[in-house]
Amino acid sequence: MKKIVRILVFLFVLPIAGWANLTNPPTPGKYKLVIEGFDWGPAVSKVILQDANPTKETNSADFEVFVTRSSSLGEIPASQASGKRNIVYSYASDENGNRKDDGTHLTLVLSVSPVNPLGSGIQYLRMGNRASNVWIDYGVTVIHTKSGKSWAEESGRIRPIVDDFDLSGKFTYENTTLTYGAFSPKNLKAKAPLIIWLHGGGEGGTDPTIALMGNKAFNYASPELQVLFGEGAFVLAPQTPTFWMNAGEGMTRGQTNDIYNAAVFALIQDFVAKNPMVDPTRIYVGGCSNGGYMSLKLILEHPDYFAAGYISALAYNNEFISDAQVQKIKNVPIWFVHAKDDMTTKPNETVVPLYHRLKQAGAKNVYFTYYDNVHDITGFYGGENFRYNGHWSWIYSHANVARTDFDGSPVMLNGRPVTIMEWMAAQKKKK
């Protein structure tokens, strides 16, 4: 099916190219894709054309980019299955898209936005009794309209920051196997903290890149956040084959036990044991939605193990947390992030009452950034006027912009206001 669609696209653009000999067209060239992670998920942001031999006269307006999106795992709506991508600008580069005045490659920078599904290399598909994000077949055909030259064969993909992770991790505990991605800081002279991220319900499976790029979770390995942790921090992103709130039969919100918490804790312990440069007094656990549930579950089960928690869109219902459990975790530093208009993990059933119970129990290092909604924080797509799904409060955590407590006052540390990651970097468990 994918080949048929691409042939149709090719036939559609033949007249534009104006080739002199249609019976023997030139062999299409090769290209690389750059797939970047954005607040809303991954998007193909650049196409690097091999052997384009750009000159000062090369004009991006003379190129056209057509894409096809398909999957054997499910049907993609026709409006999202094929179309034309907009080119923002172009520049001469090397084979990896690095600007180079005498480069033999040409990099086309494509327009991306949260409302343009043609840019995405993943799709949320329902498979059997569950749905999740999966990588799809993403085909590209580039035409230089003046010469008729084309590029239609992918030679590779570049995923900034994500490619710095070890994506081959696999751990088996009893009958459960979990995959994971792991980032290790380079040139450590002293032990470094470990940041654990637990994905949401749509990122389960056996490909850790989905857990890292379904939203911008990989950003904890970015230079901007790593520098907050001194020489850097390890980042561990475990992945469940289904979803963290799986109770074996149905889904739990805390009323019954899930089937994964023992396995993921064993994975964490194994990772720490195999990486002696991890500082055991600075292990942080966080997650969103399903992963927020699992983060709190791990803290409830092992309050003395973690130095801090950072939890967004908490899916653990407050009614299933006992007063004894609140007392058990009241001294664990935790920073919650949630939005008032979250209709998936309703705050008045989850985080709001739990936060107040912790404060009433005497918790002194627990914070809660409570947003009215989830909006565009980049300013590129409308700023506060562009709103995401209210469930997506993890955007504020990944971007390290959460900085206020429940009453709107700034969170202070050593006399100065701090963000969620600055605060977390300062948390250390007593030996």
41-49 and 105-110: which strand pairing? antiparallel
CATH number of the domain enclosing 418: 3.40.50.1820
Q: Give 99: exposed, middle or buried? Use CB within 10 Å, 0-12, 13-18, 19+.
A: exposed
Q: How many domains does the chain have?
A: 2
Residue 227: give the domain boundaries.
162-425
* 185 and 149 both lie in a single domain: no
* 278 and 323 both lie in a single domain: yes
- Contact call for residues 184 and 275 (beta carbons, < 8 A): yes
Residue indicated by tokens 């799904």: 389
* 178 and 82 both lie in a single domain: no
Q: How far is CA 423 from the centre of its chain?
A: 22
* 97 and 109 both lie in a single domain: yes
Handedness of CA 108, 114, 115, 120 (dihedral sign): positive
- Contact call for residues 149 and 25 (beta carbons, < 8 A): no
Does any domain span residue 336? yes
Residue whose C-alpha is closest to residue 139's, from 36, 44, 11:
44
Question: Other CB atoms closer than 10 Å to residue 145's CB: what's the count?
Answer: 14
Below-70 pLDDT ranges, the chain: 1-25, 431
Tokens of 178: 């979990």
Measured distance CA(159)–CA(217) in Å, rounded:
13
pLDDT score for 19: 37
Within 8 A by CB and 6+ apart from 216, the residues are 37, 38, 39, 395, 398, 399
Measured distance CA(335)–CA(358) in Å, rounded:
12
Measured distance CA(386)–CA(373) in Å, rounded:
10
* 232 and 324 both lie in a single domain: yes
CATH number of the domain enclosing 22: 2.60.40.2180
Q: Which of 124, 158, 192 marks a domain boundary?
A: 158
Measured distance CA(325)–CA(320) in Å, rounded:
10
Helices 261-274, 290-301: inter-axial angle, 10-degree rounding: 70
Question: Other CB atoms closer than 10 Å to residue 211's CB: what's the count?
Answer: 28
* 254 and 151 both lie in a single domain: no
* 115 and 200 both lie in a single domain: no
- Contact call for residues 150 and 143 (beta carbons, < 8 A): yes
* 299 and 397 both lie in a single domain: yes
Does any domain span residue 75? yes
Does any domain span residue 22? yes
Tokens of 62: 């003379």
* 145 and 199 both lie in a single domain: no
Strand order in the sheet with 308-312: 166-173, 176-183, 234-239, 192-198, 278-288, 308-312, 334-339, 366-371
pLDDT score for 128: 78
Q: Is 362 helix (H, G, I), strand (E, B) or coil?
A: coil
Does any domain span residue 228? yes
pLDDT score for 16: 39
Does any domain span residue 125? yes
Q: What is the pLDDT of residues 363-413, one digit of tens each?
A: 999 999 999 999 999 999 999 999 999 999 999 999 999 999 999 999 999
For 84, list phi and psi in degrees, rounded to 5: -105, 135
* 122 and 201 both lie in a single domain: no
* 223 and 109 both lie in a single domain: no
Does any domain span residue 81? yes
Does any domain span residue 203? yes
* 138 and 179 both lie in a single domain: no
